[in-house]
Each structure stands twice: as structure tokens, then as C-alpha cells.
Copies of this chain bind each other. A is one copy, B any other.
């Protein structure tokens, strides 16, 4: 196990009706003049935004509003948010939505006290300050409600990049699983895939002797395998929604990933897809991650066999562990298929002829890959090609 630092100071407020406590928690965490940041119509139509507004008003907290965050959130709205916050002297940002809204809020939070271009933080620079951010979560997926991460896409050119800092870890996150019950099956499955991918990115590691985090990773994955089909079949199943929602947070505070090298190449390779085609991140991961697994499993077949036996319940083939390793990948694809996820470029709406451009944008030259297996441009090309025409279905 490697040395590590772990810090997750977010106050999580979980359960039915907790969105009505938003104002109380803003006040508790020092907010007096809030930017309410949200996405499209669903938070308005569902009445959620109205409840949050009422809750702020009850506590005498003033607020401004900025809606319109899109999936794969854009830099353009971030610039608008930064300007608005400065003009209105905002001292607290409350994101009401899913990962995209939260990530956009985090970008604004870093940008407001910064003299330069906020994009610097998505190009490797560390922020020195940020406005406090908090969330009312509406989608179990990104884990952004408990993480210090944010991913933003440049409108001009479609560059999709991430930033990370403890400064943008939410002060509090309100998580009412009931809010996720209206989510359509496809988006629910995309979220579930993202949660599982967050765990797998940590699971496949070259660090040895990490039993506790292996087991915690497996705990989250086993939960997702049980609960996801239940909510696909019965969207109003509160308890299954609740288990998925907490699993999504646990998957990404990093408590299941400390003390080990992590991979994150599937996320990087996928980001180029969702940046180019504006597809759902989770759907892109369903196409890319098993392809990545197929490409790298021979690097450590026993680790993949461990995943296959402990997570997918495969019988271990002690004579040919590679068989077990491969069976685990097949089971993963079957599971993704069963919850309605795409598995191929075509099903995602991606095109094989774009592969050279995708690889180019991934920016191998800038040294972005490391992890479980360090990938060259040729390797990434090979992974995209597996995703065009996967064999093991």
C-alpha cells in the first residue's frame, strides 16, 4: 500500500425531504448571498427549484439564479457565471442538479476569486481560493457531490478536461433519492455505469497489498449489480435508488481508492467521445471500458480473475486464469447490455473514421496516460477499434 492523504469534509444530508433543508445548511456553512446554479427544465418542472428557493427565503438568504447547464458542461456558461457572481457579490454557490451542474458550479467557484482565465485550472494549475460550493443532487452518477473534481468542455474546439482541488469539495450535499425516481431508465443506466467505472478505474492497479480498498471497491460494485436492474425495472423503488445514490458517493470520494495507483484511461478515452459526439458520459464508458479491459487484461490476468470471481461470481479456472479474466469482461458487457447500455461505436453514434482525430485530441504527446498499462497512441487506437467491433459478447 502506498502512502496517502484522504480528506472528505463534505457534510452529507441524505434521505426523503432533505431538499427542504437547503437553506438551513447554506446558513450553517456561512452563505448569505447565493448563486443558484441549475440545468434545464427538470429541476423547475419537478418543483425542486421552488422548494430550494422557499428554503433559502425562509432563512432570509438572498440569491441570484443561473440555469442552462447542459450535459458535458461548457466553459461559456462558466464565464457567464463568474461575471454574474462578481457583479452580485455572491459568497456561496448552490448547485441543484447532477454532475454537470455541480462541475459547472465548481468551475465558477474557482474562477470568481481568480484574476486569470479559469481554464488555467483545467490545464494543470492549482487554485489558491474558491467560493464555497454545495449541492442538491438529482442524479446518482458523477460522484461530484463528494469529490474535489470537475470536468468542463471548451465550446470552441470541444476540448474536455478535468480539474481537481480540495477547495472545491462541496461544503454539504443534500441527497434525496426520491429526486432520482423521475430519471428515465437510459439516464439511470448511464449514471450506474459511471459509478461502476469510477470504481474500476481505481480497482485495476499495479499497487499490491491493497486488500481493504479492493474489498471496498467490490462492495460498491456488488451493490450496483444488485440494485441497478431493480431501478430499471421499477423506477420508483426508493430503497434501490437510495442504495445506488450512496454507492455513487462512496465510489468517488476516493475512500475506496486511497493508497494505490489508479488508472483513469477509460475516462480519458471516453471524454473524447462525449466531447465530439455530445453523447452521455456513462454511455461512452459502457462502450470504452470493456474495450480497455479486453486490451489490458493480459497485463495482470489474476487481478482480472479476482474481479471476475469476487464481483461477477465467476468460478475460478485455476488451470487457465485468463479464461476467468475474460469471462469477467464478458459478464460486465452482458450486465451493461441488460440495463440498456450501448456496447459499440455504432450504438453510441460514433464513427470509426473519427478514430485518428479522437486519438490526436487525447494528446498522448502531453503525457496524459499512465496507470495500469501506459498507453501509446497506437494502443488507444486499438482500444477504439475494439469498441467499434467488440468480440466478446
Chain A positions near chain B (C-beta within 8 angstroms): 1-18, 177, 208-213, 215-216, 218-220, 222-223, 226-227, 239-240, 242-243, 246-247, 250, 255, 258-259
Contacts and interface: CB of A to CB of B under 8 A. Distances in A.
Contact of A223 (B2, B4, B212): B212
Contacts of A3: 14-18
B242 A1 contact: yes
Given A216-B219, A222-B215, A255-B255, A208 B12 contact: no
Copies in the complex: 2
Given A1-B242, A9-B9, A242-B209, A14 B219 contact: no
B209 A219 contact: no
Given A211-B227, A219-B219, 8 more contacts: A4-B15, A7-B11, A8-B9, A14-B258, A209-B239, A209-B240, A215-B222, A242-B259
Contacts of A13: 5
A247 B212 contact: yes
A12 B259 CA distance: 12
24 contacts: A1-B15, A1-B239, A2-B15, A3-B14, A3-B17, A4-B14, A6-B12, A7-B11, A7-B12, A8-B8, A14-B259, A209-B239, A209-B242, A209-B243, A210-B243, A211-B222, A212-B247, A215-B218, A215-B219, A215-B222, A216-B216, A216-B220, A218-B219, A242-B259
A239 B208 contact: yes
A240 B1 CA distance: 9
Nearest to A251: B212
A222 B218 CA distance: 11
